[in-house]
């Protein structure tokens, strides 16, 4: 028998569950690429911002400096990302030719994945979500870095 669950009326809970469902779907869609969501995400940011630094990518994605390291390392090992010394400290990140191809493939997969949900929800609700979700984020994303 299904249990009563007062949590259903909690925004945070609904968000977690919904997010988990989409993450699972995304992972499935990306499985063949052997790339994790965080890696693909990083790839997209570098694609859109050639010559950005690791820390900058991290800031854009709310990933701490320290956690960017293994992500970039793996993308470099895979020959998807290259970096060029700018400074004694910072590197400029760019996609390799192969990286651009993989990024494009990933893009398409993500588009398919997103389309499934967009269809489910309809344009009006999608618009509403894109209005509301950033409001939630804005509430307290001041935790990032500092």
Partner DNA sequence: GGCTATTGCTATCCGTGATAGCCGTCTTAA
Partner DNA sequence: TTAAGACGGCTATCACGGATAGCAATAGCC
E strand or H helix that includes residue 13: helix 11-30
Distance CA 93, CA 53 (A): 6
- Give which of its own copies, DNA, none residue 72 binds (C-beta under 5 to 8 Å, depending on kind): DNA
24 binds its own copies (CB under 8 A): yes
Asked if residue 93 lies in contact with residue 83, where contact means CB atoms within 8 angstroms, the answer is yes
60 binds DNA (CB under 7 A): no
Distance CA 56, CA 91 (A): 11
Asked if residue 93 lies in contact with residue 72, where contact means CB atoms within 8 angstroms, the answer is yes
Least gap, CB of 80 to its own copies (angstroms): 17
5 or 84, CB closer to its own copies?
A: 5
Least gap, CB of 67 to DNA (angstroms): 5
143 binds DNA (CB under 7 A): yes
**Which residue of 62, 101, 121, 132 would you call a contact of DNA, by CB under 7 A?**
62
86 binds its own copies (CB under 8 A): no
84 three-state secondary structure: strand
CA nearest to 82, candidates 51, 36, 49: 51
- Contacting residues toward its own copies, per CB under 8 A: 1-26, 41, 44-45, 48-49, 52, 56-57, 59-62, 110, 113-114, 116-118, 120-121, 125-126, 128-137, 139-141, 143
């Amino acid at each position: 028998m299904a249990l009563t669950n007062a949590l259903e009326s909690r925004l945070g809970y609904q968000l977690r569950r919904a997010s988990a469902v989409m993450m699972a779907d995304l992972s499935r869609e990306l499985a063949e690429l052997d790339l994790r969501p965080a890696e693909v995400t990083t790839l997209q940011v570098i694609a859109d911002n050639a010559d950005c630094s690791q820390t900058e990518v991290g800031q854009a994605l709310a990933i701490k400096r320290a956690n960017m390291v293994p992500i970039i390392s793996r993308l470099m090992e895979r020959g998807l990302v290259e970096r060029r010394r700018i400074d004694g400290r910072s590197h400029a990140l760019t996609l390799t030719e192969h990286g651009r191809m993989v990024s494009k493939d990933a893009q398409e997969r993500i588009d398919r994945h997103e389309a499934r949900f967009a269809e489910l929800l309809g344009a009006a609700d999608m618009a509403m979500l894109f209005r509301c979700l950033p409001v939630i984020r804005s509430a307290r994303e001041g935790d990032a870095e500092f």
